[in-house]
Chains A and B, each alone.
Chain A
Amino acid sequence: MPGEILFELKDVCYHYPGGEEALSDINLSIRQGEKVALIGANGCGKSTLLNVLDGLLFPQKGSISSFGLILDEKNISKKDFNFAFRRRVGFVFQNCDAQLFNSSVWEEIAFGLVQLGLDTREVKRRVEDVMSMLGIGHLKDRPPFRLSGGEKKKVAIASVLSMNPEVILLDEPANNLDPRTQSWMIKLVKQLNHAGKTLVTTTHNLDIIEEIADRVVVFSEDHRIAAVGKPKEILDKRELLQQVNLVDEQFHRHIRDDLHRHYHSHN
């Protein structure tokens, strides 16, 4: 059952330095233990919202609080707040090449732990545990540029999981993954949620949202929240999905409860 409110956004607006709008009047609460999916067409503001939730971008209008405290530039620059916040919130970026900046997989996974000041023995223990959990122990000395797309994604997730965050923000985690790695990812998201983690995932893949979310936030192309609801309720609103450019007229749904359900198009 979802618990206390971890993030609360009130009338949040954000625009990039060039004046390009990314978020407009966002009102949203995220509770502990929830699996939330942010869906919408490309460029609707999903990734920007994750950056705002991670305290990397700060809204020009509106307010955001996390763990009951105001999340703004002033507070995050305070050492204690920054330490407590970064420990609790992990962000898996869409671009693995940006996230994997260390020279080996082992160092990559250890980076966050070292920055948080954990002692060497604990760092080693956590790195080894996460590597064995995700089955990437054989990659430990490899430089990130030698990894395949799926391996990079696993290392990026490991680098965040090693910090044991309460909230995990995942930006398009299933993008460019082969079907097997995609299934692995979905299974991992479910496992982490069962373990009590709060997960906020962005995606435009409608096939996976029933599995990765118990609440869906739909973004319109004008960077506003168009709807919030349970995955099934949202997926049944074909007109809404068409309006926000997530499906076109050709799309329809095949439902076979004994197997699976998915959207596809006949062109």
Chain B
Amino acid sequence: MSTDLPEWLLARQEPFQHGDGIAGGKSIRRGFVEKSVDSMSLVFRESFFAERLASRPGLLQGIDPRVKVLTTILLIIVAGLARHPTTLLALNLWILWVAKVSRVPLPMYLKRVWLAAPLFTGIIVFPSIFNVVYPGDPLLILINFSRHFRLGPWTVPETLAVTYQGVWGALVLILRVGASVSLAVLLALTTRWQVLLKALNMVFVPQVFIVMLEMSCRYIYLFLQTTSEMFVARRSRTVSRTSTQEQRCFVSGSIGALWNKAYILSGEIHAAMVSRGYTGTPKTLVSFQISRLDWLWSLFVLAVSLFFLGGDRIVAW
């Protein structure tokens, strides 16, 4: 093996001047690769945070995941059956209290639930608050046409107004979606993923499907790490802005490389499973234990559900 270095490798670079490329230098625009690296590190940060949160000593963290899944389903049904905004508002406040005693940071929790849920539900129900879509008693008159007229197959009423019934219905729907999303987010935030997946067995998800989900979850992070390393390595060797076409080529090449790695690894994983006695049918250990706290929580949720449903009947009446 020759160790003679070629001449060009012996040539030294020009000395780096103090302030080189800083004063007046153009900053390189962030391309697809840089943005992807940032997004991947964000996924890791989020996952670290989620696990820390799920391990905090709080009310929901101490409840058996199976009980948590069942009580969450029950509360989502209660949210679905409630018909009065006051009931739903009270239910949402109660969920917030549960989040607080489970030591979930409220600003983050509220942002996660109430930024997305009302926005998307709001877009869906927005047309229904107007009398042109859903007739009702006017709450706010926007335009007075002085007479009704026909517009193709539609009959436009004398006034364009926001209706009382439309606003009521929209409010109920938004609060209902908000409560359901809050409960689902709370369940996900206070339970570690691997435990949550196991608890899905309670809602009749087949065992083999859960095992596949668990393994996918485990290897997604490994491949994300590998991809992140590939992207960082690429960035460290990029000295100027690359064209979109070059970036596309790099991404498609990375997908191919990752596919090959995944294929080789899947063979190794199978060998490691067989080596430890796997014969084609996954056997898992179910080690959940129902404690007194789980019973108390179940009874509490049942009482709360009856209270809200009963209260809803009274206020709705």
Contact = CB atoms under 8 A, between A and B. Distances in A.
B269 A141 contact: no
B155 interface: no
Given A56-B274, A143-B221, A82 B279 contact: yes
Contact of B218 (A93, A124, A143): A143
A145 B222 contact: yes
Contact of A86 (B222, B275, B284): B275
B265 A98 contact: yes
Interface in A146-165: 159-160, 163
B269 A98 contact: yes
Measured as residues with beta carbon below 8 angstroms from the partner, the interface class of chain A is: 35 or more
A91 interface: yes
A101 B192 contact: no
A89 to B, nearest CB: 8
A98 B272 contact: yes
B149 to A, nearest CB: 64
Interface string B193-224: 11001000000000000000011011101100
Contact of A160 (B215, B276, B284): B276
B282 to A, nearest CB: 8
Contacts of A99: 272
B277 interface: yes
A28 interface: no
B146 interface: no
A103 B212 CA distance: 11
A143 B194 contact: yes
A15 B99 CA distance: 60
A86 B225 contact: no
A142 to B, nearest CB: 9
Interface in A101-137: 101-104, 107, 110-112, 114-117, 120, 123-124
Contacts of A124: 287
Interface residues of B, number: 30
B221 A54 contact: no
B45 interface: no
Interface string B255-291: 0000000000100110111111111000111010000
A3 B218 CA distance: 42
A180 interface: no
A145 B218 contact: yes
Contacts of B225: 145
Contacts of B275: 54, 56, 86, 89-91, 93
A51 interface: yes
A131 B192 CA distance: 21
B272 A115 contact: no
B55 interface: yes
Given A115-B277, A143-B221, A103 B193 contact: yes
Interface string A54-68: 101000000000000
Contact of A51 (B222, B271, B276): B271
A86 B268 contact: no
Interface in A76-94: 79, 82-83, 86-87, 89-91, 93
Interface string A37-69: 000000000000001001010000000000000
Nearest first, the 10 closest Cβ-Cβ pairs linking A and B are A98-B268, A115-B277, A103-B194, A112-B276, A86-B277, A145-B221, A91-B275, A99-B272, A103-B214, A56-B271
6 contacts: A56-B274, A98-B265, A98-B271, A101-B218, A101-B219, A103-B197
Interface of A: 51, 54, 56, 79, 82-83, 86-87, 89-91, 93, 95, 97-99, 101-104, 107, 110-112, 114-117, 120, 123-124, 141, 143-145, 159-160, 163
